[in-house]
Amino acid sequence: MKYVDEFRQRDLALKLAEGIRTAAKPDRIYRLMEFCGGHTHAIFRYGVPDLMPDNVRFVHGPGCPVCVLPIGRIDMAVEIAQRHGAILCSYGDMMRVPGGNRISLQRARADGADIRMVHSTQEALKIAQENPTRDVVMFAIGFETTTPPTAVAIKQADAMGLKNFSAFCNHVLTPAAIQAILDAPDIEQDAVAIDGFLGPAHVSSVIGSQPYVALTEKYRRPVVIAGFEPLDVMQSALMLIEQLNAGRFTVENQYTRVVTPEGNRKAQALVAEVMEMRGEFEWRGLGVIPNSALKIRERYAAFDAERRFDLTPSTAQDIKGCACPEILRGRKRPTDCKLFGTVCTPENPMGSCMVSSEGACAAYWSYGRHRSGSSQTTQESAA
Taking only the tens place, the pLDDT of each residue in 25-61 is: 999 999 999 988 889 989 999 999 999 999 999 998 8
Mean pLDDT of 120-138: 98
Asked if 183 and 154 touch (Cβ cutoff 8 Å), the reply is no
Mean pLDDT of 83-88: 97
**Which residues, including other chains, have CB under 8 Å from residue 130's CB and lie 6 or more apart?**
none
Residue 189 has pLDDT above 70, yes or no: no
Pairing label, strands 30-36, 56-63 = parallel
Residue of 331, 63, 71, 332 whose CA lies nearest to 188 = 331
Residue 315 has pLDDT above 80, yes or no: no
Distances (CA, A) of 145 to 142, 202, 206, 264, 352: 7, 6, 6, 10, 20
The reply to whether 10-65+175-196+222-253 and 71-173+263-308 are identical in fold is yes
Q: How far is CA 361 from the centre of its chain?
A: 13
pLDDT tier, 185 (very low <50, low <70, confident <90, very high otherwise): low
Asked if 71 and 98 touch (Cβ cutoff 8 Å), the reply is yes
Mean pLDDT of 13-20: 96
**Which residues, including other chains, have CB under 8 Å from residue 43's CB and lie 6 or more apart?**
34, 49, 58, 230, 233, 363
Radius of gyration of the chain (CA): 21
- CATH of 71-173+263-308 given 3.30.300.30, 3.40.50.11740, 3.90.650.10, 2.60.40.1080: 3.40.50.11740
Buried-exposed string 70-89: b where 16+ CB fall within 10 A, e elsewhere: bbbbbbbbbbbbbeeebbbb
Asked if 208 and 171 touch (Cβ cutoff 8 Å), the reply is no
Give the phi and the psi of residue 63 in degrees, each rounded to 5.
85, -80
Pairing label, strands 115-117, 280-283 = unpaired
- What pLDDT sits at residue 98? 86
Per cent of the chain over pLDDT 70 is: 93
**Which residues, including other chains, have CB under 8 Å from residue 301's CB and lie 6 or more apart?**
307
- The SS3 assignment for 171 reads strand
Alpha carbon distance 181, 193 (integer Å): 10
The helix (H) or strand (E) run that includes residue 198 is strand 196-199
Give me the architecture of the 10-65+175-196+222-253 domain, per CATH: 3-Layer(aba) Sandwich (3.40)
Residue 21 has pLDDT above 70, yes or no: yes
Q: How far is CA 371 from the centre of its chain?
A: 25
Domain map (residue ranges) of the chain: 10-65+175-196+222-253, 71-173+263-308, 323-365
The interaxial angle of helices 37-45 and 230-246, nearest 10 deg, is: 110
Mean pLDDT of 17-26: 97
**What mean pLDDT, rounded, does the chain reach?**
90
- What pLDDT sits at residue 383? 37
Alpha helix positions (H), the chain: 10-23, 37-45, 65-68, 71-82, 105-110, 121-130, 147-160, 174-187, 201-207, 213-219, 230-246, 265-274, 305-308, 324-328, 352-355, 360-366
Asked if 90 and 116 touch (Cβ cutoff 8 Å), the reply is yes
Alpha carbon distance 35, 141 (integer Å): 17
Per cent of the chain over pLDDT 90 is: 69
- The SS3 assignment for 152 reads helix
